Amino acid sequence: MLYPRIIPCLLVHKKGLYKTVKFKDHKYVGDPINAVKIFNEKEVDELIVLDIDASTHGYEPDYKMIENLAVECRMPLCYGGGIKTRAQAERIFSLGVEKIALSSAAVENFGVVSEIAGRVGNQSVVVVMDVKVTGSDGKYEIYTHNGSKPAGKNPVDFAIAMEKAGAGEIVVNSIDRDGVMKGYDLDLIQQIWEVISVPMTVLGGAGSLEDIGAVIKRHGIIGAAAGSLFVFKGKFRAVLISYPNRAEKERLFNKMYCQNGL
């Protein structure tokens, strides 16, 4: 039986590992390589690493850091940050990365998604949508450059366009829920889930395994990503890297499948 993926998401800022709240209030939580080593021991399903400085400041991807991460990782690695061209993507793949994540580059140029997917395969191209509620009417809008720049795009329409362009996976990241740890934005997730057929990963808001269970119960085979949940412990947010062990995951999945009658 296929199971949902539970995925830690690490944010790289100023060469270190940081965590944010609503894409602000950066808190240093350690060294990315040390975090990867710990996640190796915990046998995580997959790892997402996003360099949140690269696109915002127009930097090239940090290829040396990416290489170090890829060498250390014993799980599939998805890297995003600063990727704008096929040549950059190919170089990153050559370092041992399994997936690349595009955000602002996809917004600015749909063609880069098709170009990279045509070269390396759809399954290796992920589009990340950073989404925020705008205005009193509760409408959603995509933002880029670490949540600082409104893109003027509706996430539902954009998700459809990205699948058509060749994206093999869509990551839906709620800016409003980032680091809050009070649950995913299930309404946003539902809207995107209804219109795409490629794999989907959700990010932003998970504060417990029950939050992950809620989205799995609703949508089944889905990627559930989280940052704060896997790097903080307790109400004082002490830094402690964690991840559910095999028995905990099986209990979670069995409970969800039984409730769904699967």
Helices then strands, counting H and E runs in the chain, come out as 11, 14
Give, for 87, the enclosing helix (H) or strand (E): helix 86-94
Burial class of residue 217 in the structure, from the number of CB atoms within 10 Å of its CB (0-12 exposed, 13-18 middle, 19+ buried): middle
- Report the pLDDT value the prediction gives residue 84, as an integer from 0 to 100: 95
Q: Where are the beta strands (DSSP E) in the chain?
A: 5-13, 16-21, 24-30, 47-51, 77-80, 99-102, 125-134, 139-144, 149-150, 169-174, 200-203, 223-226, 232-233, 238-239
Widest distance between CA atoms in the chain = 49
Residue 92 CA to residue 63 CA, distance in Å, equals: 7
- Report the pLDDT value the prediction gives residue 21, as an integer from 0 to 100: 96
Give, for 71, the enclosing helix (H) or strand (E): helix 63-72
Q: Which residues pair with 49 in a beta bridge?
A: 10, 79
CATH of the domain at 165: 3.20.20.70
Q: Residue 37 region, left (φ>0) first, then alpha (ψ -120 to 50), else beta? A: alpha
Quote the distance between the C-alpha of residue 139 and its chain's center: 22
φ/ψ of residue 174, rounded to 5:
-85, 115
CA Rg, the chain, in Å?
Answer: 17
Q: What is the total count of domains within the chain?
A: 1
- Report the pLDDT value the prediction gives residue 256, as an integer from 0 to 100: 66
Residue owning tokens 């990153």: 92
- Dihedral sign from CA coordinates of 181, 185, 46, 63: negative
pTM for the structure as a whole: 0.95
- Report the pLDDT value the prediction gives residue 55, as an integer from 0 to 100: 85
The segments of the chain whose pLDDT lies below 50 read 262
Which residues form the catalytic set? Answer: 130
- Report the pLDDT value the prediction gives residue 260, as an integer from 0 to 100: 54
Which residues span the domain enclosing 133? 5-260
- Report the pLDDT value the prediction gives residue 257, as an integer from 0 to 100: 58
Residue 206 CA to residue 216 CA, distance in Å, equals: 12
